[in-house]
A and B are shown apart, each in its own frame.
Chain A
Amino acid sequence: MFKFVHCADLHLDSPLRGLSLREDAPAEAIRSATRRALDNLVDLCIEEHVRFLVIAGDVFDGDWQDYSTGLFFNACMARLTARDIRVYIVSGNHDAASTISRKLLLPGGVHRFSSDQPETFVIDDLQVALHGQGFKDRVVTQNLVPQYPLPVPGYFNIGVLHTSLEGHEGHETYAPCTVHDLTAKGYDYWALGHVHTRQVIRDTSPCIVYPGNLQGRHIREIGDKGCTLVTVDSGRIDLQHRSLDVLRWALCEVDLTGTLRAEDVVGRVMSVFQQTTAANPGYPLALRIRLTGQTALHGSLLAESEYYLNEIVNAAQQSAIDRIWVEKVIFDTQSEESGQSLPDRTDAISELDRIIQQTEVRPEFLELFASEMQTIQMRMPDYVRSEGSTVIASAEEVRDLVSDARDVLVAMLARGGGQP
C-alpha cells in the first residue's frame, strides 16, 4: 500500500481578483493565499506519509515575473524531499510561458517531465511508473496521449497530463484528447491538470481526475479547493479530496420576493450568510451577493444601492466578524408593479420612460456615449484587458446599461425628485 497526492494549477502568487479595499475584509487571509495553500499541501503530504507528489501543471502564472515565487516553491519542495517524498511535475501552458519555470533550478528529488517527448520515471521500490510530457510552448494543440509510452508491466502506471480533454467552459483548449484515448492507454491513473474545478472523470481503473486548483482566486473559482489524496492498495484505488484553500469564494443568491423594508433585505441576506458560513466552518469567505425576486423595494434598491451595499456589508460583519468579504452585490430584482407605463399616460415620468425606451433604439445617442466612454477607456488599458471588466466597445454595450440607468432614474423620481 502506498499513498500519493495529485494536485494541479497552483498558480503561485496569483492575486485574488475582484476584492475591493474594505475595512471588513479578512485581509490576512488573502495575503499570499496561494502560498499558504501550497504550505497546506506540503503539510498534508508529510502528515499522510505519502511517497510522492504529482503536480499536473501550471505551478506559476505565465506572466508572473518575480523569481522569489520560484524560490518559495523550491523551499516547499525541499521540505518534501527532506522527508524522502519525491515530486513529479509536468509543465502546463502557464509554465511554458513562465520565465520562472524555465529558469528555476529544482532541488534534488523533484523531477520535471521532458517537454520534447514523453518521459517515464520509475519508482522501483513501489513498482510505480509515471509517464508524462510537459508543454514546450504556451499553446499545444496536438493530442499528446498517443505518444505516451506503453504501461510498464506489473507496475502501477500513472499518466500525468495537462489537458482540457475535449474542452471545458472557461478554459482554453490545450492538448486535447478524449477519455477513450486515456482509457485505451492501459494506465491505472491519469493525473490531469488545467481545469480548475475538481472533477473525477472516472473513479475506477483507470481513474481520471482533475483535482482542481489549490486556492480559488476569483468569483468563478468558487467552493472547496484542494488536492486528491490517492491510496493504492493491492490494485485498489481510493480517492479522497482534501481541502487546502485558505479563503473560499461563494456566490449567494438572495431572493427578496415580498420584502417590504430594508430590514427584511438585511434579514434575508444574514440568513444566507449564516447558511454559507455554516457550510464553510472556519473559512474566511469572499461572497458575491445577487439579489433577486419581485419586491416593492426594487426602486429603492437601485436608487440607494450604496445604502444597501453598506447594510449588507454590515450584516456580513454581524454574521461573522472578519470572516466575510462582500466582493460585489448585484441588484437583479424586479418591481412588483406592472403596467407602470401605459401608452395613454402623459405625465413626465411616463414620458421619461418612453423617451428612454426610444433612446434604446436611437443609435446616435448610444453611439455618442459609447464613443466618449471608449476615449476614457483608452486611458485604462490594463483595466480593459482585465477579466470581467465592463468594456464599452459599441452602442450595444450602452444599450445594456440603459435599463439600469432608467430604473435608477424612475426610482429617484418616484420618490418625488431629488430631495428624499
Chain B
Amino acid sequence: MKIRSIAVRQVLHYEAFQLDLDHGGLHILHGPNETGKSTLLALIMDLLFGGPIAESFRDHYDSRSRLEGVIERSDRAVYRIERKRRYNRLVLTDADHAELPEDTLARYLGGYTREPFALLFGFDHERLRAGGQSLLDSQGQAGISLFEAGGGVQYLTKLLGTLADRSAQLLDPSFNARSAKELNKQWRSFIDTQKSLKQSSLRAEEWHRQRQEIFLSEQRAEQLEHQLADADAAWQKVARLLRVRPMISEWLAMKQELEELGPASVSPHDEENILTLLKKHGENTQSQARAEEECRRQAQRAHALHPDPKATSMADSIERLSEGLMQFLSLRDTDLPAAREQRQKRKAETEQRLQELSPGTSWTQIDQLRLPLTALNRIDTLAEEIAGAHANYALEKAQREELIEDSAKVEKDLEALGPIYDVSHLSRLIRTIREEGNVQGKIAQANRDIELKQQAIDQRLRQQTLYAGSLRGLKMLPVPLHDTLERYAAQWASLEQERSDARRDHQTLRAAAVSLANDLEVLELQGEVPVPSDLLEARSLREDAWTRVKQSWLHHVLPEGVGPQDLADDFAQRLANADRVVDAMRREADRSANRALLLMKQEQTRQALADNAKRRQSLDIQFSQLETLWAGEWQPCGILPKSPGEMREWLSAFHAPLVLMLGELDASEADRAELVQHQAQLRQALATAAQEAHCQAGDALTLNEALEQCENYARAMGERDLKRRALWDQRRVLETKIHARTQSLTKWEQQLQLQGKEWESVLRAYPSLPPRPQDALHYSQHLRELLRGVQEIEQMETAIRTSEEICHQFERQALAVAEQLGENLAEAASVESWVRQARQRMHNARETEQLLHSIEAEQARLRGEADQHGAEAGLTAQQLQHYQAQCHAADLAQLSAQVEISRQRRNLAEEKLSQERRIRQAADGMSVDAIVQSLEELGDPDTLESQKIALEAEQDGIRGDIEREKDHLQTLQTAFAHINETHEAAAAFAQQGQQHLAEVDRLWNEYLRVELARRLLERSIEEFRERNESAILHRAGQLFRRMTLRQYEELLVEYDGSAPYLLAVHADGSRRRVFQLSDGTRDQLFLSLRLAFVEQHLAGSEPLPLVMDDILVHFDDARTQATLEVLHELGQQTQILYFTHHQSVVDQAQQLAAHDHLHVHYLRPQQPVKT
C-alpha cells in the first residue's frame, strides 16, 4: 500500500492542507520548525487508523474537521479514506459522511492496527537511539537483538529482567525458612497463624478435665469443713467446762453461806423505808443547826456598814461628768493646742506661697488671683503638651544623631572590609574535590598498598628458588598450559607409580627368592629328597643302560673296553638306582612334592626377577625421556623444572599468586597513576579557580594544603561577604530609621508651632500668668496650693472655736454638781481630780447600799430554812418510832443493825442468782445443774486442759488442710474462669490465617502468570532467532556495511558459552561486540536490522509505507549519504515518508547518483484556524 494523497481540513492550524504523494519511492518532507511537521505526521497516523483521539489532540478536532486521503494497494486497488470526529474518536466515513466499519480498511493496512504499525513501520531518532541503547543493554544477545529489531520494540532485556525480578521477588521455590520473598513470607505468616490458632484453641477435653477437678476439690473441701465442725464442737465442750469450773466453785460457796444466814427478819420494803428515814432524820437535824448559826453571822456584818444617801442621789450627774471628762481633757490639753499650732503653721505657709506667687499681694487680696477651673486645667494640659512636645523633639533629635553616627560607622566598616571576590566556583570545586574524598590520602594509601604488595611479591619470590628472573618476566613467563601440565603430571605420576610398583615387585620377588632358597635348604638339611627330575634322570640313565644292553644283546655290539657283565651290572645298578629314586619318592612323597614345588617357584621367581629387571630398565628409560621432554617444556622459561606435581604446586603456590599479585600491583600502580593525574588535574583546576577568585594559593603546596588554603580563603571570603551583606542590611535599616526620625522631627516642630500660638492666646486671656508655659504649669500648681491653704485655714479656725465652747460647758456642769454635793470645787486641785473623787464617792455609796440589801435577804432565807428542817426532823422521828416498835428494837442503833443483816442476806441471794446467770452465759446456755452433772461425770477435771490442747492440734491440722484445699480450688477456679470465658483469640488467628492465605493465593496466581510469561517470552525469543538468524543477519550485514561505509564487513553470531551474541566484523578483521561499537554505529546496526526485517516483510506481504521522523540527525554526513542511498533503494520497494527539518538532508538526498524515485516536499507554515 502507498499513500497517494493526504488532505486535512479544519484541524488545528490546517485550514485546508493538501499533500500529494502520488508516487512510491522516497518522499522527503522538509519543513523548518513550526511548520506543523510533527502534527502532520500524527495526522497521517490518524488518517490511516482513526480510533480514539489522543489526549493532546482532543482540542484540535471539531465537528468541521476532516481527514481525507487516497491509498493504493499493490494490486492497484484504490481507496479514498475520509475521517471525521465522532465524540472522542475519529471514525471512517463514506462519501455521504456515514460511518463505516474500520474493517473496511484492514485489507489495505495489512491487518495492522495503529500501535503495531507504529512499532514496525514508524521510525524516529529517539526510538533509533533507544534501539541502540537496548542493543547495549542486552550486550548484543542475538535472540533479544533480533526480536527487538523484528518487533520494533526496545528494552526487551529490561522486560525480561522485570519479569524475572518480579518472579524472584514473589517466590523462593526452595521455601527457605528465612526467605524474604513475598509469597514465602505470607506462607510463613499463614503457618505461624495456624500454630497460634492451635495454641490458642481450647480443647473440649481440657475444659471438662478442669471442671471435674474443681468438682472434686469442692467435695474435699466440704468433707474437711465437716471434720472441723466436729472438732470445734468437742473443743467447745471442753473449753466450756474449763471456763465455768471456777465459777461453779464460787456458786457452791455462796449457796452454803446463804444457808448459814438463815431466814430474813425485815422485808425489803421496810428495810428500805427504815434506812431512808434514819438518813433523813439525821440530815434535817444537822441542817437546822447550820441555818441558825449563819443567820447570826449575817446580822453582825450588817451592823458594821455606813450608807451615803447624797452621793447616791447624785449618781447620774456624776456619771455624766465622768463620761465627759476624757473629752474635756483631750480638747483642752491636746486638740486645742495642736489645732492652734497647725493653723498658725498653715497660715505662715500660705502667706509665704502668696508672696512667692504674687509679691506684694496682701492676705485680703487673694481672691483677685483666682482663675476658672476649666481655664486652669486647659493651661495645665497645654503646658504639659508643650513640655512633652519639646521633650519628644529633643529625644527624636538625639536618636537621629545617634543613628547618623551608627550609619557613618557602618560605612566605615564597609570600607574596612576590603574587596570581595566571587568564590562560588572555587567553593563548588572544593566541594566536588572534597566529595571525591582525600585524593592525596588515596595516593598515599595507594603508595602504601603498592609498597606492601611489592614487599609481598618479593617475599613470595624469595620463598621459591626455581625462578630467578625478573618480576616482569615472571608475568610473561611462557609456562606450560594447564592441559600440558596435567598431561605431564598424569604421565609422570603414572610412570612414577609404575616404577614404584616395579621396585616394590623387585623387592617382593627378591624376598620370595630368599625365602624359597631357605625353604629348599631346610628341606635339603632334612635329607636328600628326590624330585621328578631326579626320577627322570634315573630313568634316563636306566634307559641308556638298557639300550646298551639291548644293543649288546640283539646286535652284539659292545662299547669298547666294556664287557657284558659290566653292562649288566651297570644296568642293574642304574635300575636299582631308579628304583631307589622311585622308592624314595614314594616314601618321601610330600617332601618330594614340596621340594619340587619350591624348585618350580624358585625358577618362576628367578624368571620374574629377570622380567622385573627388564621392566625397571625400560621404565627408567621412559622416565628419563619424560624428564627430558618436561625440561624441554620449561626451557623457554629458563627454569629447570621439578616434577609436574611440584611444578603445579609451584604454579599455584607461587606463580599464579605472583602473577595475580603483579596484576594487582599493576592495577594499583595504574590506579595510583590515575589518582596522581587526577590530583594534578584537580590541583590545576583548583589553581585556576583560586586565581579567578584572587586567592593566592602557592604553587608549591600539595593538593590538600592548597585545598585547605583555598577553603580558608573561600570561608573567609564567604564570611566577609556575609558580613558585607549584614552591613548592607544594617545600613539599609539605619537609613530607614534616620528617614523616619527626620519625618518625626518635622512633625514635632509643626506641633510646637501650633501649641505656641495657642499659649499666646491663653496669655492674652489671663495676663497674670507667667509668659513661659513651663512656668505657667508651676504657677497653676502653686495657685491651686495657695487657694487650698486658705480654705484649710478657715476650716481650722471654725474647729478651734467649737472645742473651746465644749470645754467651758464642762467646767460649768462640774461646778453645779459640786455645790449640790456640798463640796467646794475651788478647793480641789483641778476640775478633773475633783470629778474623779466625786465619782469614787458615788461608787462607794452604791456598793454599801447594795451589800445591806443582800444581807437582809439572806437573813430572812436562813430563818425560814431552819424552821423547815426542824419540822421535818420531828415528822421522821415519829415514823421511826413505829418501826422501832415493830422490830422490837430498843433504840434507833439497834434498829439500824437489824436492817444491815437483812440487807447482807438479800445481797448474797442476788449474787448467787447473778453467778448462775454468768455460769449459764459462760456455758453457752447450759443449766448449772447440767454443768455440775457434766463435771461430776467427767471424773477427773484436771484432764480437761490436756484434752483441749489435743483438740486444738486437731483443729489446726484440719484448718491447714482446708486452707490448702481452698487455695488449690482457687487456683483451679481462676484457671477455669480464664478458659471458661468466650475468648476470640483462636477465631482471630483463623481469620488472620485466611487473610494470609488470600495473599498467598493472589501472589501465587501472579507468580504463575509472571513466570509463565517469562518462560514463554524466552522461548519465543529463541525460536524467533533460530527462524530468522541467518537470513536477517546476512541482509542486515550488507546494509550495515553500506551505512558504515564498509568500516564493518558483516554481522555474525558467536557463542559465548551457550549464549549467542551479535558480532560486527571490522574491516581490519577484528570482531567487535556491541559494547565495543560507538553510539552512532550501534544505532546504525539497529537500523540495519530493522530495515532487514522490513525487507523481509515486503518479500511476503502487502507493502506498507515507512514513516520516518528525522532518523539521521545523529549520523555524520558520509553515513547520512550512505543511509539515504539505502533508503532510496528501499523506496523502490515501498513508499517512504521521511520528515526532516534539516536542509542538509534534502541536499544530500538530491546528490544521490540516481534519484529518480526521490520526491522532496517543502512544508510551509500554516495559519492557525483555532487559538
Contact = CB atoms under 8 A, between A and B. Distances in A.
Task: Report if A and B associate in a common complex.
Answer: yes
B477 interface: no
Nearest to A14: B990
Contacts of A14: 990
A65 interface: yes
5 contacts: A18-B998, A71-B982, A376-B173, A414-B119, A416-B155
B1008 A21 contact: no
Interface stretch (B350-358, B551-559, B880-888, B1009-1017): B1009-1017
A384 B146 CA distance: 41
Interface in A61-87: 65-72, 75
A13 B204 contact: no
Interface stretch (A174-182, A227-235, A339-347): A339-347
A68 B977 CA distance: 12
B1019 interface: yes
Given A355-B1020, A408-B1013, 13 more contacts: A13-B987, A31-B991, A66-B200, A68-B983, A103-B208, A347-B1093, A382-B997, A404-B1009, A415-B115, A417-B153, A417-B155, A418-B162, A419-B155
Contacts of A392: 1008
A196 interface: no
B792 to A, nearest CB: 85
Contact of A402 (B198, B1010, B1016): B1016
Given A19-B998, A347-B150, A418 B203 contact: no
A250 to B, nearest CB: 17
B1093 to A, nearest CB: 7
Which of B204, B1000, B1002, B1023 has the largest count of A CB atoms less than 10 A from its CB? B204
B586 to A, nearest CB: 81
Interface stretch (B66-74, B517-525, B856-864, B1094-1102): B1094-1102
B993 interface: yes
B51 interface: yes
A418 B190 contact: no
A389 to B, nearest CB: 6
Given A13-B990, A31-B991, A416 B1008 contact: no
B295 to A, nearest CB: 94
A352 B156 CA distance: 13
Interface stretch (B105-113, B213-221, B945-953): B105-113
A352 B1020 contact: yes
A261 to B, nearest CB: 8
B987 A69 contact: yes
A412 interface: yes
Interface string A378-420: 0110110010111010000010011011101100111111110
A375 B173 contact: yes
Contacts of B636: none
B699 interface: no
Nearest to B206: A67
A103 B204 contact: yes
Interface of A: 13-21, 30-32, 35, 65-72, 75, 99-100, 102-104, 260-261, 296, 327-328, 337-340, 342, 344-349, 351-352, 355-356, 359, 365, 369, 372-373, 375-376, 379-380, 382-383, 386, 388-390, 392, 398, 401-402, 404-406, 408-409, 412-419
Given A17-B997, A66-B201, A402-B1016, A373 B990 contact: no
Nearest to A378: B175
B1027 interface: yes
B754 interface: no
B154 interface: yes
Contacts of A344: 1100-1101
Nearest to B983: A68
Contacts of A414: 115-116, 119
B235 interface: no
A322 B48 CA distance: 48
A417 B158 contact: yes
Interface residues of B, number: 92
A221 to B, nearest CB: 14
B202 A339 contact: no
Nearest to A353: B1020
Given A408-B1009, A416-B119, A369 B1015 contact: yes
B1024 interface: yes
B768 interface: no
Nearest to B55: A261
| Among all A-B residue pairs, the 6 with the closest Cβ atoms | A348-B151, A418-B159, A418-B158, A348-B150, A103-B204, A418-B155
B1024 A355 contact: yes
B999 interface: yes
Given A351-B1027, A352-B1024, A417-B134, A17 B994 contact: yes
B1006 to A, nearest CB: 8
A59 to B, nearest CB: 14
A419 B130 contact: yes
Contact of A70 (B113, B156, B204, B1101): B204
Given A18-B998, A346-B1096, A349-B116, A68 B981 contact: yes
Nearest to A344: B1101
A419 B999 CA distance: 28
A95 B162 CA distance: 50
B184 to A, nearest CB: 9
Nearest to B157: A418
A401 B990 CA distance: 30
Contact of A16 (B106, B980, B991, B1009): B991
B996 interface: yes
Given A66-B201, A66-B986, A346-B1100, A15 B157 contact: no
Nearest to B134: A417
A340 B114 CA distance: 11
B120 A405 contact: no
Contacts of A296: 51-52
Given A68-B202, A104-B204, A356 B1020 contact: yes
B204 A100 contact: yes
Contacts of A402: 1012, 1016
B1008 A401 contact: yes
B987 A18 contact: no
Interface in B114-133: 115-116, 119-120, 127, 130
B151 A347 contact: yes
A173 to B, nearest CB: 27
B149 to A, nearest CB: 8
B152 interface: yes
Interface string B192-213: 0010011011111111100000
Contacts of A389: 1001, 1004
Nearest to A102: B204
A15 B207 contact: no
A21 B996 contact: yes
Contacts of B1020: 351-352, 355-356
A224 B156 CA distance: 50
A14 B993 CA distance: 11
Interface in B448-491: none
Contacts of A18: 994, 998, 1001
A418 B982 contact: no
B160 interface: yes
Contact of B1017 (A75, A102, A352): A352
B154 A417 contact: yes
Given A31-B988, A69-B987, A359-B1019, A351 B150 contact: yes
Given A379-B175, A382-B190, A390-B1008, A417 B1019 contact: no
Contact of A345 (B111, B980, B1010): B111
Contacts of A418: 154-162
Nearest to B994: A15
A386 B748 CA distance: 95
Contact of B1023 (A31, A102, A355, A413): A355
A347 B113 contact: no
A346 B156 contact: no
Given A348-B151, A405-B1009, A405-B1012, A15 B987 contact: yes
A61 B110 CA distance: 61
B209 to A, nearest CB: 11
